[in-house]
Amino acid sequence: MVKRLRLKLAVYFALFVLILYELGVLGSVGIFQWGLSRSMDILLQDLLAETRPSIEIVNEIPSLTNWARAAKREHSPVLAIVQIYDQDRKLIQNFGPVGVKKLASGHVSNKDQTISVRSLYQPIIHQGKAYGFLQIQVSTESNDKIFNDMLLATFLVMPFLALGVVVAGYQFAGIALKPVEETLSLFKRFVADAGHELKTPISVIEAATETLSVVDENEPITKSDLEFELQTITKANRRMKELTSDLLFLAKVEDQAIIFRRREIIMSELIEEVVDQFRPLARSKNLTIELDADTPVIIDGEPESVHQAISNLLSNAVRYTDHGKISVRLTENEVFAVVEVSDTGIGISESDKDNIFHRFHRSDESRSREAGGAGLGLSIVKAVLEAHKGSVTVDSQLGSGSTFTVRFPKKLI
Ligand SMILES: Nc1ncnc2c1ncn2[C@@H]1O[C@H](COP(=O)(O)OP(=O)(O)OP(=O)(O)O)[C@@H](O)[C@H]1O
Ligand SMILES: [Mg+2]
């Protein structure tokens, strides 16, 4: 699909460039032709002004015969087309090369288009009386040929240009589509992972309901069997509920919409609240939680998501620690409020450190534990920190514990 889109983009790109190219060529040829016509008109005006005084009126008819004779005598050939028309616009004299025998100004051609000239004329007025017209023409044949050749060349170049642009466009489209391709494959993996995570509780519920629905009169369902199966269903149901609410929360945070719900958060208060929530669970596992959060640092954040991020870190610390303690520390530097959550738990291997923030990733050590989640907690932490323009890092040693550090930008005063 991405390949087809890439080719499509390359072709659209080539079409766009070719249209621009042709418009550019036509535009510049047009401007050049207009400039050339203007300078030809100026030349024709000069020639008219130069020739006009040489016209003689012989028997009421304008004539340039003597002027032409003198030019011949002086071996200065007449290069422009010089024509005299009578009052009825009939050609009566023609000197120089063959021109278009028609009284007209501008670009004119003869009937069969074999001669084309730039032409300009003016009336011949002598002692207040009109005797006809003097017209000068200059051939535009060589210019027309140059323009035609130029246009032909631009059309001939087009297929090669198109090929070049398609190849270049294909390469550029490849670069531009790389993030789309990555996002698509991430999305596919995400759907597969989410499906896989949902499949387990669904199968558990299916099996439990099947057990309950099989009616065997010789072996009726006992109360304890019923309780066990109902408990199984409840657990599987809870797992699905947690998974869907985590996914929805992740989507909400990644949507960046939380930016609009930001407000002042006193970090020490929020952390104390989260730690208090986890104390009973920690106690049940014989773990202590040490809290050092006296710094009066304030951030500009969305309370629900910040609360969720710190909760997820504490939930992991409690879940992945069997002995020892958990410490939560709040400090600040010039720019950030820094929260460190340390534990003396199972730790994280070097190879896992890069992946634990990916959705649904769980290390083999944690996978083998019964009390495992879906692997979304840290991706939520990462998304929350990204939405707040902060960061999350981990420092851990397999077997001896981990420290997760999150940095939220402080509120600007
Ligand atoms: N404090 C920790 N000590 C050791 N391993 C950890 C710790 N925190 C996270 N991990 C590892 O990182 C993985 C991803 O953690 P994450 O919080 O994203 O998912 P989870 O805890 O498995 O499930 P969820 O949080 O969705 O219920 C965990 O499965 C575990 O392997
Ligand atoms: Mg977790």
CATH number of the domain enclosing 126? 3.30.450
Which phi and psi angles does 322 have, rounded to 5°? -105, -35
The confidence score (pLDDT) of residue 206 equals 93
The confidence score (pLDDT) of residue 367 equals 57
Position 213 in a domain:
no
**Last-in-domain residue among 147, 181, 212:** 147
Going from the Cα of 234 to the center of ligand 2, the distance in angstroms, rounded, reads 21
Cα torsion at 150, 151, 157, 158 (round to 10°)? Answer: 160
Going from the Cα of 178 to the center of ligand 1, the distance in angstroms, rounded, reads 30
Q: Write out the residue range of the structural domain in which residue 296 sits.
A: 257-409
Position 211 in a domain:
no
Position 176 in a domain:
no
Residues 126 and 266 in one domain: no
DSSP, res 330: E
The confidence score (pLDDT) of residue 237 equals 93
Q: What is the pLDDT of residues 183-206, one digit of tens each?
A: 888 888 888 988 888 898 999 999
Domains held by the chain: number: 2
Residues of the chain with pLDDT under 70: 215, 365-372
CATH number of the structural domain spanning residue 397:
3.30.565.10
The confidence score (pLDDT) of residue 222 equals 84
Residues lining ligand 2 (ion), CB within 5 A? 316, 373, 377
The confidence score (pLDDT) of residue 372 equals 65
The confidence score (pLDDT) of residue 366 equals 58
For atom 27 of ligand 1, which residue has the closest CA?
A: 373
Going from the Cα of 381 to the center of ligand 2, the distance in angstroms, rounded, reads 9
For atom 22 of ligand 1, which residue has the closest CA?
A: 375
Residues 138 and 267 in one domain: no
For atom 7 of ligand 1, which residue has the closest CA?
A: 316
Q: Ligand 1 site: residues with CB under 6 angstroms?
A: 246, 312, 316-317, 320, 343, 345-348, 356, 361-363, 366, 372-379, 402
What's the one-letter identity of residue 331? T
Cα torsion at 42, 45, 46, 50 (round to 10°)? Answer: 170
Q: How far, in Å, CA of 297 to CA of 263, rounded?
A: 14
Position 400 in a domain:
yes
Going from the Cα of 360 to the center of ligand 1, the distance in angstroms, rounded, reads 9
Position 196 in a domain:
no
**Last-in-domain residue among 102, 122, 147:** 147
What distance separates the 2 farthest-apart alpha carbons in the chain? 144
**Last-in-domain residue among 115, 147, 179:** 147
